[in-house]
Amino acid sequence: MLAMRFSGCVAAAMLAGCGGSHLPIDAPGALPQAQAVAPHVNLSRSWMAPEAKSEDLLYISDYSGVHVYSYPKGLHVGDITGFASPAGLCSNEKGDVFVTDTSAYRVYEFAHGGTEPLKTLYDNSVDFEPIDCSVDPTTGNLAASASDAGFVVIFPKAQEKPKVYYEHTMHRVNMYRCAYDNKGDLFVDRIYNRNNRHQYMGELPKGATQFGNYLLDPRIRHPGGIQFDGEHVVIEDLASLKAYRLRFSGSNAIIIGSTPLNGTPWVEQYWIQGKTLIGPDENSTVYFWKYPTGGSPINSIQGFTLVVGSTVSVSP
């Protein structure tokens, strides 16, 4: 397994950042291939290298903050601090990045390469502890899901006055992870039936007010993160450590392909960027796999503190 080298450019980035050519964002294995560890610095304040705003950026959240790297070069170009417990991340087509801060009951929006929030989103009408988010590419709506909650909160155009959508047809509901497809349909995971023998994926079609449900293939035993790869809805199975591409037929979610995520004991809120799948393992490492082939990781970043979320923000 190969890992990113930050080399002497990490220290320099703390002051002025590092330059260099920019490789294609979808190029698998384009990251530097040598052993290295992400620096454990005292995150007393947020910072961002000057060139970060003009580069594609990889955002990684762990319990000490949100860490920012040039993508795909892997240079450490910034840190954003001040969160209570940063969790899932997502980004929109403008490059804005959203950070769910679970125990603060808030979602923060940052401009690409920015360190101060553009806005703070929250909902006082429900016990809302956001853990994941997704942006509707057709409307700009922001959906946020919460652990152990039977609802999802949607902020129209990522503004205030959110709407809460409940799942009313299932006995046991935990809308843990969420993702929009390219048509504006929202998908959520971990919906069970009354006897807990079957697991479903929920769908809130664009413009709808009620969730529909798809029965998941029984090979998916422990549903995890959801993403949209540009063509298919993808759901990860934490039991088999595979990301499954799905096709929907009637009331069933049918597996049409899988991506093995070898080399890690656990993958949390992953992100698919072109031909690369980026997966935090919830411990100290972020792995990179070729997508959709998977297999052994092609790269990794190590040295985080309970890493949780990831997203790639494309330079506007």
Q: What is the mean pLDDT of each run of 10 residues along the chain (316 residues)?
A: 34 33 36 38 75 97 95 96 96 97 95 97 88 97 88 95 85 84 94 72 94 92 94 95 97 97 90 97 92 97 92 96
173 in a structural domain: yes
- Look at residue 250 and tell me if it is in a domain: no
Q: What is the pLDDT of residue 193?
A: 65
Rounded to an integer, what distance in angstroms lies between the CA atom of residue 280 and that of residue 266? 8
- Quote the domain boundaries for residue 112: 9-220+262-313
Select from 301, 295, 298 the least CA-distant residue to 281. Answer: 301
The verdict on residue 106 lying in a domain is yes
Q: Has residue 14 been placed in a domain?
A: yes
In whole angstroms, what is the distance from residue 123 CA to residue 153 CA? 8
**Structural domain contains residue 226:** no
Using CA of residue 257, residue 202, residue 265, residue 1, what is the dihedral sign? positive
| 311: nearest Cα among 59, 106, 115 | 59
Task: Give the C-alpha separation, 284 to 303, whole Å.
Answer: 5
d(CA 219, CA 283): 25
Is residue 247 domain-resident? no
pLDDT of 266 reads: 87
Distance, CA of 84 to CA of 197 (rounded, Å): 36
Concatenate the DSSP letters of all residues of the chain into one string: ------TTHHHHHHHT--------TT-TT-S--S----------S-EE-GGGGGS-EEEEEETTEEEEEETTT--EEEEE---SSEEEEEE-TT--EEEEEGGGTEEEEE-TT-SSEEEEE--TTS---EEEEEE-TTT--EEEEETT-SEEEEEGGG-SS-EEEE--S-SEE----EEE-TTS-EEEEEEE-TTSS-EEEEEE-TT-SS-EEEEEPTT--SEEEEEE-SSSEEEEETTTTEEEEEEEETTEEEEEEEEEBTT-S---S-EEETTEEEEE-SSSEEEEEETTT-BS-SEEEE--SS--EEEEE---
| Total domains in the fold of the chain | 1
For residue 283, the model assigns a pLDDT of: 80
Residue 225: closest CA among 206, 201, 247, 203: 201
Structure confidence at residue 297 (pLDDT): 97
CATH of the domain at 270: 2.120.10.30
Tell me if 132 is assigned to some domain. Answer: yes
Counting every residue, how long is the chain?
A: 316
Whole-prediction pTM value? Answer: 0.86
Q: Is residue 96 part of a domain?
A: yes
